[in-house]
Each structure stands twice: as structure tokens, then as C-alpha cells.
Amino acid sequence: MGQGPEKRIENQIKRYLDNIGAWHIKTHGSMFSKAGTPDIIACVKGLFVAIEVKRPDGGKVSELQKYHIDAIEKAGGVAFVSRSVEETKQYLTKLDLV
């Protein structure tokens, strides 16, 4: 069985983060983690970055995911939803992180 579209995008984003020298980890939902935590947690040039990965054709962001994205932003980090590696590149470029 092949990868689904969301997993494929996630892997592309992780490779991109490797290429720019960022530290990152893929989060997995479990009883030991907060529900709604973004898929990828990274440190890019000293800045905490959280990325919620969604497929381009209709992946919906839950209210809990929106809550965590907002809480990370309020705490001084960067958090966003990405539907492609290109969108991730654009977001990080806009923040002058690449």
C-alpha cells in the first residue's frame, strides 16, 4: 500500500526542513501527547515552528488544531497549516527563516 497524500506532503516537508538545517520531529497521537498537536514540531534558526499538515484537496483543520496553532502563536512561536512543501517554503521565507 502506498503513502496517502498527507503523508507524502509531510515527508516532503521533513526533507525540506533537513535541507535547511532545521531540527524537527514528527508527532504521533498517543495517550502521552496532547490531542490536536501539530504534525511537525521544528526549530528553525532558533524559532519554535509547528506545522499542521493537510492534504490539498479538502483536509479540514479541527477546532482543537486551530486552538493549538493559536496558543503557539500567542506563546511567541510560529504555527501554521501547510498543504504542500511549496506552501511551507513560502511561509518560512516570508518570516525570513530561509
Residue 80 confidence (pLDDT): 97
Domain boundaries, the chain: 5-94
pLDDT at 76 > cutoff 90? yes
The rounded distance, in Å, linking the Cα atoms of 97 and 31 is: 33
What's the pLDDT tens digit per position in 11-30? 999 999 999 999 999 988 77
The rounded distance, in Å, linking the Cα atoms of 80 and 38 is: 9
Q: Is 3.40.50.1220 the CATH number for 5-94?
A: no
Give me the half-sphere count of Cα atoms (radius 13 Å) on the Cβ side of residue 74: 6
Q: Are 44 and 97 in contact (CB under 8 A)?
A: yes
Strand partners, 53: 82
Residue 1 confidence (pLDDT): 47
What's the pLDDT tens digit per position in 31-59? 777 888 999 999 999 999 999 999 988 78
Mean confidence (pLDDT) of the chain: 92
Give me the half-sphere count of Cα atoms (radius 13 Å) on the Cβ side of residue 29: 6
pLDDT at 79 > cutoff 80? yes
